[in-house]
Structure 1
Amino acid sequence: MSRFHLATAFSFVVLGLASCGPLPVYYRPGNDQTRTNSDTLTCKVAALKDAPVANQIRQRPPVYYPGRQYCNAGGCWTGPGYWVDGGTYTVDVNQGLRSQLEQRCMAQKGYQHLELPRCTKEQIAKLQSLPGRNRRDAGLSQESCAVLQSNGTTVILPPL
């Protein structure tokens, strides 16, 4: 298997594991999710103004593969080595600063930055089946979990 295929397979494994890990969320006792989403958007926009996207293209160094030695009854010889391009990638050099600015803005608004486990399908289904569930925060507990919605916002589900 080539190094490219190994790297690609490794990337899929890492991405798969990342989708199982905890979700970062902002939490302030007594806030409803709509207010939290509004405050988060306000802080993200402010952070983007102060630390705009600054992509830089970078290049990995090339990799040299030495030739292999081949042997048969007539003797041994070494095949030629070869170089493989390391490839290029893009880095947003302001990403870390933008994240810090967003977290500082949210902290100034009274939010804590937490990581909560992802909700299981069973937890989501159980919550949806409860009639008239109040969306106002009832506090966090060990059973609290988070759901990443298709619009990019994260929702904290109260304990079930």
Structure 2
Amino acid sequence: MDFFILGMAANLNVCHGFLIKIMRSPVRIHSILGLAVLVSALVGCAPQTPYDRYKAGQPIQNFPYKAGTTPAETQRSVTDCQIEAAQRVPQQMVIQTTPSYTTPVQTQCNQIGTQTFCNSTGGDAYGGQTYTSDANAGLRVQAFAQCMGDKGYRFMNVPACPMGTTAADLDKSPVLRSFSRNTCYFLTESGQSAVGNLGE
């Protein structure tokens, strides 16, 4: 059975912008499990903490898995592929503007005696904000995934171990074994985490 203690952020409220910054800076990802959470954030934001997700029984998505590797080997592959992706797909910063619109102006008038009182509403402008983004960010993530695939990694969805699982429940093998139905991950509130197999 496989056993990995991996560093993990206690609170990971991740959105696209943060993930893109991570992908630009290969040295910033410090754990494989953390990387898996970040890659899964490509489909949107992750409002829950990793521990909240574990308690809810949610899997870790896109975990880079290769049987026979140690944590150090996997981390080295991740770093190498981040660097390769950054070199193959450099930044292409573009300036964009959000759509803008103006609400229609409506005027209502009331006559009281010989006097007319009018009140106008609307005419408010919305949108039109300018922002900068990296047009190549998505392609860079694809290049990273391709590089990891070339090294023999598969991005697996690792289910959560039953609540109450501890490090003692996993065989402390120094390398990952083949992915099986017994493979799962556990996470403590303090951030200790492990990926391994139960009951083998």
Is the TM-score greater than 0.5?
yes
Indicate the RMSD between aligned Cα atoms, in angstroms: 3.6
Residue matched to 2:145: 103
Gaps (5+ residues) in structure 2? Answer: 1-43, 188-192
Q: Distance in 2 between matches of 1:71 and 1:120?
A: 68
The alignment's TM-score, normalised by the length of structure 2, stands at: 0.53
- The alignment status of 1:34 with 2:72, answered yes or no, reads yes
Q: Aligned AA for 2:129?
A: G
1:113 to 144, 149, 155: 155
Alpha carbons of structure 1 residues 131 and 59: separation in structure 2 relative to 1, 3 Å: closer
Q: Distance in 2 between matches of 1:29 and 1:69?
A: 71
Q: Distance in 2 between matches of 1:110 and 1:45?
A: 17
Gaps (5+ residues) in structure 1? Answer: 1-12, 149-154
- The alignment status of 1:136 with 2:167, answered yes or no, reads no
Q: Aligned AA for 1:83?
A: A
- Please identify, of 67-76 and 16-25, the stretch whose mean Cα deviation from structure 2 is larger: 67-76
Alpha carbons of structure 1 residues 15 and 28: separation in structure 2 relative to 1, 3 Å: closer
SS in 2 for 1:137: coil
Deviation at 1:139, TM superposition (A): 2.6
| Count of residues in correspondence between the two structures | 139
Segments ≥4 residues shifted beyond 6 Å: none
Alpha carbons of structure 1 residues 73 and 17: separation in structure 2 relative to 1, 3 Å: farther
Residue matched to 1:57: 95
SS in 2 for 1:16: coil
Q: Distance in 2 between matches of 1:39 and 1:146?
A: 21
Q: Distance in 2 between matches of 1:121 and 1:54?
A: 44
- The alignment status of 1:16 with 2:54, answered yes or no, reads no
Deviation at 1:41, TM superposition (A): 0.7
- The alignment status of 1:45 with 2:76, answered yes or no, reads no
Mapped contact 1:144–1:156 kept (Cα < 8 A): no
Q: Distance in 1 between matches of 2:170 and 2:197?
A: 15
Cα deviation digits, residues 32-65 of structure 1 (max 9, x gap): 2221111111011011011122222211121212
SS in 2 for 1:41: helix
Q: Aligned AA for 1:139?
A: S
SS in 1 for 2:62: strand
Residue matched to 1:88: 130
Deviation at 1:95, TM superposition (A): 1.2
